[in-house]
Amino acid sequence: MKPRAIGKRRPYVRPMAGWWRKNPYFVEYMIHEGSAFFVAAYALVLLVGLLRLSQGEAAWNGWLFALHSPLSIAGHLLLLAAMLYHAWTWFNIMPITLPPIFVAGKRLSASAITAGGVAATVLASVILLLVVWRLTS
C-alpha cells in the first residue's frame, strides 16, 4: 500500500528514477544489461530467416533481399558493435561469475580468465569464418 499524506504530514519518499545515471559503474551495468535487446533482435532476424527458408525459394530470396538494404547493413553494424560489447563484458564479469579456479595450487587471476575468454572468441570467430568459407566456395 502506498503511504498517503494525511493532513499536513508529507512523508519523504526518496526519488529512485534514474538512480543509475549518477554513478558511472551503474551506467556501464545498465549498458551491458541492455546488450540483451540486441542479442534478442539478432535472434529474431535469424528466426525470420529460418521461417522464410522453410517456406521456399521466393520467401527466402525476399528475406535475403531485405538483408542487402542499406538500413539492414547499418542495423547490423550496430548489432555487431553491441555484440562485441556483450562479448567483452561477458568475459570481463566472468572472474566474478565463475567459482575460483586453481591451477597448480595458485588461484587463476581475473585478467587471465578475461584474456582466456577473449582468446576463445577470437579462435571461435576464425574457425566459424573458415567453415563458412569452405562450405560456400
Partner 1 sequence: MSANLKRSNAPIFWLLFGAGGMLSALLGPMLVFITGIAIPLGLILSPDAMSYAHMQAFAHHWLGAGFVWVIVSLFLWHAGHRIFHSLHDIGIHAGTTAKLICYGIPLVATIVAARAALVSLT
Residues that bind partner 1 (CB under 8 A): 16-17, 20, 30, 33-34, 36-37, 39-40, 42-47, 49-51, 53-54, 57, 60-61, 64, 67-68, 72-73, 75-77, 79-80, 83-84, 86-87, 90-91, 117, 120-121, 124-125, 128-129, 132-133, 135-137
Least distance to partner 1, CB of residue 113, Å: 13
Nearer to partner 1, 112 or 128 (CB): 128
Half-sphere exposure of 26 (CA within 13 A, CB side): 6
Least CB distance to partner 1 at residue 88 (A)? 8
Q: Please, are residues 31 and 85 in contact by the beta-carbon 8 Å criterion?
A: yes
* Count, residues in the chain: 137
Distance CA 89, CA 128 (A): 21
Please say which residue, 75 or 95, places its beta carbon nearer to partner 1: 75
Shortest distance in whole angstroms from residue 30 CB to partner 1 = 7
Contact 78, 38 (CB under 8 A): yes
CB of 3 to partner 1, least distance (A): 17
DSSP 28-84: HHHHHHHHHHHHHHHHHHHHHHHHHHHT-HHHHHHHHHHHTSHHHHHHHHHHHHHHH
Closest CB to partner 1 among residues 109, 123: 123
